A and B are shown apart, each in its own frame.
Chain A
Amino acid sequence: MTKSSVKRKFTQKKLSEVAPEFPFTLEDVTNLSERLGEPAWLRERRLSAWQAHSQLPMPSMQDEAWRRSDIRKLPSDRLALKPAEDVSLDPNLLAPLGGEDCGGRLVLRPGLPSQSTGGTELSEHGVVFCDWATAVREHERLLREHLGSVVRESEAKFAALAAGLMQEGALIYVPPGVKLESPLHTIIWAPGSGGLVATRLMVIVDQNAELTLVHETGSPLQPQGEAVYAGMVELHVGEGAKLSFVELQHWGEHVWNFTHERARLESNARIEWVFGAVGSRFTKTYADLDLDGEGAEGRMAAFYITDGEQHLDHDTQQNHLKPHTTSDLLFKGALRNRSRSVWQGMIYVAPGAQQADGYQMNRNLILSDDARADSIPGLEILADDVRCTHGATVGRLEDEPIFYLMTRGLERETAERLMIDGFFTPILERIPLEDLRVRTKAMLHRKLNELTSHG
């Protein structure tokens, strides 16, 4: 049977109410664990994660968090566990980052050997920056202490999927007081279709340490195929520590992307989290901020640009768990064609978390009649002395500024482009590395060019 006839047969089948379960077994989990040389306790962790995955129901539009995101066409039952294809990395991703440039780069290709550069200066300071196999071999203690402490492996269907079947991962540990000047860079590069790719990223920035980390996930577009990615990101920012975390998602538009990401901050810790998404066919990302110590402060900013049939769903939580915590979230998106975005954000203030200061704002630019953005801000405040504000807008480019710009000689298209640029500038400005900012802007322009050329 040819590929296309398989596809046709499949689309004719009536959609069931929920996506099919993944076809993997406990044996797959054990095999994976063995292949990666994991000790027994890790294998047990995987097995219990897989058990949790099997027991948790497949999310459906009946679930509040999934009400606007339909995964009934998820090809879960047709996936294999297979290595990434050996397709060379998009050279754009290897461009210098700026500042002190790169203190170490790790290219993870699930199922294939990872590639790392730099890092000599890292070990002098006791910094750990390695792939999963190395972490298992050399840093078992760190894994034992931190694995699953920020994102619980059994907390959700896709988190458990990633924890049970992860093929690759990175461990980053910055010891107390070490302030790394050069950024670290991790890239998960997973070309291919027909497979499940799962990874974990664990970052521990210990007391008073400082780290800038750029984390990218991507693959070339494979228009004929489909693939699923499941990722877990755990960020642990210790007392007084600072993490600047830039995350860029450029999956090919054949990828279904599911991630569970959380940062936990201790007292007076600080995170600057900048997030950019242009890729994937479907995304459901949970990104949470747990402000778990007095004086902790978290800023999250994101841009997303969608076109075609893309559907990106970002679910954020700003959890103020202790007094005197501050959070600030700004998510901005532009949508064209029949694409769709969902942002659901919650500011939660725990009982007793007085003097919490929370802010969230989501702004969407609709660039085509058929595009749609859903924006659902939320507050749940269980303390009485707090300041929390939020807002959401969904709108189009306005006529007056376009007219104004055109009277200066700009073609309509250039005027619109400039306004969209301006719309995203406040997000790009939060990227701390000059060259990366320029590259990200170029990535944004590439996407917008695609938009205008088939828009």
Chain B
Amino acid sequence: MNGKLEIRDLHVSVEDKPVLKGVDLTVKPGEVHALMGPNATGKSTLAYALMGHPRYTITQGEVVFNGENLLDKDPAERSRAGLFLAFQYPVAIPGVSVANFLRTAINAHRRALDPEYKGIPVPEFRTLLKQKMDLLEMPYEFAGRYLNDGFSGGEKKRAEILQLATLEPTVAILDETDSGLDIDALRIVSEGVNAVAGPNLGILIITHYQRILNYIKPEFVHIMLNGRIVESGGSDLAKQLEAQGYAWVREKHGEAVSEA
């Protein structure tokens, strides 16, 4: 278990349309990466493909996670191997409470390690849940609500980070976790992420605004354009994007992109 995620020359098609056209990216434990880029350039596609969404077809390249081929695992195995995606658009599961869902997810993870595992005892679960909810300043009633069902945008994002905090992955991808959040919610969510960050967690923040990066400091910033990472650099790159927008990126790489 080295926790390293290595993406090499990844090509992904959606419904026979090529979206990712050769992505290389490595995320190691303790690193925070930001993946930025205009809308519809393939950022979410990368996230879904890494999680194993059946509609996203890998046509070329490889992904190695913990030294193993990630691509022949199903989404459940990827999760249990330590990969986590906070969805841009979390899906509602009517009738299933947040607590019930989290308990089931914890048990699935523990059972993968120990097939005899009987399930998390109620007191342990309660303590764990309270601790994680406190981290995200969530009222406890929240645990009784149906997962993402009728949640506001902010509540959905918070629930994603609650899951992140509970499942303790080794690599977390946050897809537009900042979108739709007001400034307070953004602070709470970011603090939640920072609280789980540390030497054992690699983070890939997908965003097209620089805003969240005021709270969560990336060491590496990548810019995606039309299915490729066209620029990589340090945190200054994000500052430059905020000041100048994406126009210069398009200008610089437009040609390379249109030839693809």
Contacts and interface: CB of A to CB of B under 8 A. Distances in A.
Interface of A: 399-401, 403-412, 414-415, 418-419, 421-426
Contacts of A410: 76, 104-105, 108
B93 A407 contact: no
Given A418-B104, A422-B146, A407 B96 contact: no
A408 B108 contact: yes
Nearest to B51: A407
A404 B109 contact: no
A426 B97 CA distance: 12
B75 interface: yes
Interface stretch (B83-91, B121-129, B199-207, B230-238): B83-91
Nearest to B110: A409
Given A403-B54, A421-B95, 9 more contacts: A404-B87, A406-B52, A407-B78, A407-B79, A409-B105, A411-B108, A415-B76, A418-B104, A423-B95
A395 B93 CA distance: 15
A404 B90 CA distance: 8
Interface of B: 51-54, 74-76, 78-80, 84-85, 87, 90-96, 100-101, 104-105, 108-109, 112, 146, 163, 167
A414 B104 contact: yes
Contacts of B109: 409
Nearest to B96: A422
Contact of B96 (A399, A400, A419): A419
Given A401-B91, A404-B87, A412 B76 contact: yes
A421 B96 CA distance: 7
B134 to A, nearest CB: 21
Given A406-B79, A407-B79, A419 B93 contact: yes
7 contacts: A403-B53, A406-B75, A407-B51, A408-B163, A410-B104, A422-B93, A425-B94
A409 B80 contact: yes
Contacts of A422: 93-96, 146
B78 A425 contact: no
Given A409-B109, A409-B167, A418-B96, A404 B91 contact: yes
A419 B94 CA distance: 8
A419 B104 CA distance: 12
Contact of B54 (A399, A411, A426): A399
Contacts of B78: 407
Most chain-B Cβ atoms within 10 A of its Cβ — which of A410, A421, A426?
A: A410
Given A404-B90, A418-B101, A422-B146, A411 B76 contact: yes
B1 to A, nearest CB: 16
